[in-house]
Structure 1
């Protein structure tokens, strides 16, 4: 009988900045809160994920995401260059390039990862010293309203994302801290205080 090797754990160097992982259900506002952190708290470095999904209107490659082909994503995974990655909503892959995260932490820069639940679980396996923050909606009805109101997905995609959101909401207890996104500015400040306080 063969056993699966444990994923490598990354020790937290003395004096290093702490990694914060932000996750939550689709349409809860993770991107909006993260953008607020980027704009208002420049001392925090926001990791840029790679994805195989096409860019939405207004998204800029290298700023919002690194938009890569399926083959490019395969290469990143095969070379061990992904800290975490997952297929999200059963369609596109998302992942966090490892090197830049480790470099910023080693330099004492607080790092924020805005990722999905699957990715957060992977990071917890390899970097258990990170702080895991769950961004929650004020209510299920508000989450549905936000998803439909943003108008970026087809009706079929909305249904798929809402099914995923039900599963994601049930994982709230796996996180260290819950921040309710009832007001974007307030939620952004609460997250920043957790990272910088």
Structure 2
């Protein structure tokens, strides 16, 4: 729950980045399921919906023209072109949630994460990685959602994405889902106690001194 004793608390930004197929979506779902105060940044994308996905739930599915119009109007906190499709995070919902003291979880690609490191430097940046190339390949093929061509492109892109890992504060290897979630959970909880997310805490307590 949100701590109402100190209403000046700022929402924290938790950014989770990973190569496609690493298990990021599963961890995101688990964290949001446990902590009601974690708001999720729903991105816009120009890719086609996968089976079971709905507009406004997993993504806002836009045409290329709609996306570019929003991008050019400065409506995205970050945006990127990934695997031949555009992805972007609407800015206004993010600002509203942070103002209310809600935490926001970003599930984005590494290009978007690089932008957020510039615009939201107080964020917590976590890189999730697979235990090996062969395991990542098996996971992508096991999803049965993409063609062999798409899978090949994702695997090629994974190499450059892994190369960006040193720019992140935390690394999690998803070789065991329960362990990976425990590590992500610990990072999230520790972030609640950073000075930058509690700007009024010290002053509030000092004001009680006689």
Q: What is the total number of aligned residue pairs between the two structures?
A: 183
Mapped to 1, the partners of 2:96 and 2:49 lie a distance apart of: 27
Structure 2 alignment gaps of length 5 or more:
1-7, 191-210
| Other structure's SS at 1:173 match | helix
Please list the CA deviations of residues 143-182 of structure 1 after superposition, one character each: whole Å capped at 9, or x if unmatched.
Answer: 1111111111111111111000011111111100011112
TM superposition score normalised by structure 1: 0.88
Is 2:150 the counterpart of 1:148?
Answer: no
TM superposition score normalised by structure 2: 0.83
| Other structure's SS at 2:172 match | strand
Mapped to 1, the partners of 2:9 and 2:78 lie a distance apart of: 24
Q: 1:183 to 1:41 in 2, by over 3 A?
A: farther
| Other structure's SS at 2:11 match | coil
- In the TM superposition, residue 194 of structure 1 has moved relative to its aligned partner by 1.4
Is 2:89 the counterpart of 1:104?
Answer: no
2:59 to 54, 58, 65: 65
- The structure that has the greater radius of gyration is 2
1:149-164 map, 5 Å: 149-164=142-157
CA RMSD of aligned residues (A): 1.3
| Other structure's SS at 1:25 match | coil
Farther off after superposition, 186-195 or 113-122: 186-195
1:1-197 map, 5 Å: 15-89=9-83, 91-197=84-190
Structure 1 alignment gaps of length 5 or more:
1-13
Mapped to 1, the partners of 2:179 and 2:104 lie a distance apart of: 20
Please list the CA deviations of residues 98-126 of structure 1 after superposition, one character each: whole Å capped at 9, or x if unmatched.
Answer: 11111111111111100000000011111
Farther off after superposition, 49-58 or 32-41: 32-41
Mapped to 2, the partners of 1:126 and 1:165 lie a distance apart of: 24
